């Protein structure tokens, strides 16, 4: 699975488009979002409760097959100064372990995703329980939308 650091390189892997999945990888959950094959809009899909990696991988494999996913956009939690952190290294390791899926992966800066989504949910007067239920998959959609916007406008 090639890790493609540039959105343009990732986009070039899909001359005909194709459905992408966005992942917001946390320590307890994985937020999942999907976009249409023409990369118009990212939609929150589900939140996977983390277990052993083999279980996580099996759930992702099922999702990829069921949704005909052609590539992954994974949020990379950089420090505010743009440097790597222990969490960044953990996500990079998670992505390396996704190799059996055989899909290209784009790592996308997610520094503001959770904060932006939380602000949106607070503005919508969502309860704390509702925010907890939605934030991971909405953050994944925010990450994926940022990537598809960059690829379609770039």
Query: What is the tens place of the pLDDT at every residue in 107-147?
Result: 998 876 666 767 776 777 777 777 676 778 989 999 999 99
Question: What is the C-alpha separation between 123 and 116, in angstroms, rounded?
Answer: 11
| pLDDT interval class at 2 (50, 70, 90) | very low
Question: What is the C-alpha separation between 53 and 101, in angstroms, rounded?
Answer: 13
Q: What pLDDT is attached to residue 65?
A: 97
**pTM score, two decimals?**
0.88
Q: What pLDDT is attached to residue 21?
A: 98
> In terms of residue numbers, what domain contains 71?
7-153
CATH of residue 63's domain is: 3.30.420.140
Domain count, the chain: 1
Query: What is the tens place of the pLDDT at every residue in 46-92?
Result: 999 999 999 999 999 999 999 999 999 999 988 788 788 888 999 99
Q: What pLDDT is attached to residue 96?
A: 95
Question: What is the C-alpha separation between 150 and 152, in angstroms, rounded?
Answer: 6
96 is a domain residue: yes
2 is a domain residue: no
Which of left, alpha, beta for 31 (phi over 0: left; psi -120 to 50: alpha)?
beta
């Amino acid at each position: 699975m090639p890790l493609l650091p540039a959105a343009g390189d990732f986009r070039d892997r899909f001359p005909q488009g194709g459905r992408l999945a966005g992942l917001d990888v946390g320590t307890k959950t994985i937020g999942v979002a999907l976009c249409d094959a023409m990369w118009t809009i990212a939609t929150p899909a589900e939140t996977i409760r983390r277990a052993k990696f083999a279980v996580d991988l099996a759930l992702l494999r099922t999702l990829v097959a069921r949704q005909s996913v052609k590539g992954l956009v994974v949020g990379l939690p950089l420090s505010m100064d743009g440097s790597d952190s222990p969490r960044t290294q953990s996500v990079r390791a998670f992505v390396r372990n996704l190799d059996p899926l055989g899909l290209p992966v784009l790592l996308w800066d997610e520094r503001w995703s959770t904060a932006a989504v939380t602000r949106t949910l607070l503005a919508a007067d969502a309860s704390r329980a509702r925010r907890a239920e939605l934030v991971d998959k909405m953050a994944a959609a925010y990450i994926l939308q940022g990537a598809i916007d960059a690829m379609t406008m770039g």
